Amino acid sequence: MNRPTCTRPHRCFIVPPELLKSLARTQADDPALRRTLQSTWLVTQQLRIGRETARLAAMAQKTSQFHKEAVAGPPPADYIYDCQQRHSLPGKPVADPANSPDIGVKTVFATTQKVADFYAQVLARNSVDNRGLDLVSSLHYRQYDNEDYDNAFWDGRQMVYGDGDGKIFTGFYNSPDVIGHELSHGVTQYESHLSYDGESGALNESFSDCVGAVFHQWLNGWSADRDAGWLIGAGIMGPQSLARNKTCLRDMVDPGNAHCLSPQPGSYRGLDPTADVHINSGVPNLAFATYARAVGGNAWEAPMQIWYRASTGNRLAQNATIADYARGTLAAATALAVDPAPLAAAWRSVAVQP
């Protein structure tokens, strides 16, 4: 697998941590030795966590300088793992995902490749890190035994998908926009370091929604006036949700609509600073959809290029506000020689003064 190079010194362990843990369990007749082994194991685990955190930070810092153009080289490989309803990641490797009898495996494999194609063809980007990082996806994940998992997430290194509960949600891999959304959290990780709370967290979420929705439109050849192209999570809604006319998680054109399982504010005036990042993202989402529909055509053209430029290359501060972001999109439009007037109007329509 093609992994980024880490230049910082590694902490290596001669005795594997799992062996330390196992030894500690078996030394019941020597409490002092057992305590020592347990203590060593705990310290080892803390070092591993610290090492991983530092590795991610170093990767993000190092790769952000490459944002301007995709690095030449092979496209990312696409690896699929099966968690088999357990929480251990990445799970069991799937040898031939393209021909798997598991429809979820085939779907994630094919759609993840399409997202990589979208990054390359539309954004001139080589994978989430712009350096060809291999894409790893784990399916059939459960956080706890015997509990359905109603979520999908990017864990800093890979995508993880639950199967849903079969009632409210189906498998979280059943919406192309969700797959694009999760992968794009990886792009944000490498390109902007936005904090995952408050307005900056809402911007982080919104960028993933924007890329996910536009990827879905691109995949289907839909222009911006197609309403279905602005729904997030339409494919993952289960029978109970659909029976109650909950047809999506979010609607970027009409974020407060009753057909949304998780309605959002459509104006900055309705923003609750303490709300979850998936709520306040409705404001920048609506600004993007409004702008894309105002200019017409394909959203992956000027609108996506502007949003991508504003969101990448460390242009955003860690605690950026929605107004900061609006100004960033105007600067991006100017840099791309795009008329900023309809963009400014879109921001004003959601009560954001750029």
Stretch 283-342 residues interacting with other proteins (CB under 8 A): none
Angstrom distance (rounded) from CA 335 to CA 325: 15
Largest CA distance in the chain: 77
Q: Which of 204, 199, 217 is nearest to 289 (CA)?
A: 217
Supply the residues annotated as catalytic: 182, 278
In three state form, how does the secondary structure of 40-62 look?
A: HHHHHHHHHHHHHHHHHHHHHHH
The strand pair at 135-141 and 78-86 is best described as: parallel
Residues 6 or more apart whose Cβ sits within 8 Å of residue 163: 85, 104, 139, 140, 148, 149, 170, 171, 172
Q: Is the dihedral of CA 262, 263, 267, 269 positive or negative?
A: negative
Nearer to other proteins, 172 or 291 (CB): 172
Binding status of residue 155 toward other proteins by CB under 8 A: yes
**Structural tokens at position 50:** 């610290």
Query: What part of residues 99-118 is at the interface with other proteins (CB under 8 A)?
Result: none
Nearer to other proteins, 104 or 201 (CB): 201
Position among 244, 269, 334, 335 found at the interface with other proteins (CB under 8 A)? 244
Return the number of the residue (183 or 330) whose C-beta is nearest other proteins: 183
**Residues binding other proteins: what is the number (CB under 8 A)?**
43
Nearer residue to other proteins within complex by CB, 13 or 196 = 196
- The Cα angle at residue 58 between residues 57 and 59, in degrees rounded to 5: 90
Torsion on CA atoms 297, 301, 302, 304, rounded to nearest 10: 110
Q: Which stretch binds other proteins (CB under 8 A): 70-78, 103-111, 197-205, 336-344?
A: 197-205
What are the C-alpha distances in Å from 279 to residues 69, 204, 206, 238, 282?
33, 12, 10, 21, 6
Residue 169 as a binder of other proteins (CB under 8 A): the answer is yes
197 in contact with other proteins (CB under 8 A): yes
Q: Is 140 in the site for other proteins (CB under 8 A)?
A: no
- Say whether residue 87 binds other proteins (CB under 8 A): no
Q: Should residue 249 be labelled a site residue for other proteins when binding is judged by CB under 8 A?
A: yes
**Contact region with other proteins (CB under 8 A), list: 11-19, 84-92, 124-132, 168-176:** 168-176
User: Contacting other proteins (CB under 8 A), which of 74, 196, 269, 345?
Assistant: 196
The C-alpha atoms of residue 313 and residue 74 are separated, in whole angstroms, by 22
Contact between 66 and other proteins per CB under 8 A:
no
| Pairwise CA distance, residues 334 & 324, whole Å | 16
* The binder of other proteins chosen from 140, 278, 309, 327 (CB under 8 A): 278
Q: Which of the stretches 130-138, 193-201, 312-320, 342-350 binds other proteins when contact is defined by CB under 8 A?
A: 193-201
- Please report, as ranges, the residues that interact with other proteins according to CB under 8 A: 53, 56, 143-144, 147, 150-156, 165, 168-169, 172, 178, 181-182, 185, 188-189, 195-197, 201, 204-205, 208, 233, 240-241, 244, 246, 249-250, 261-262, 275-279
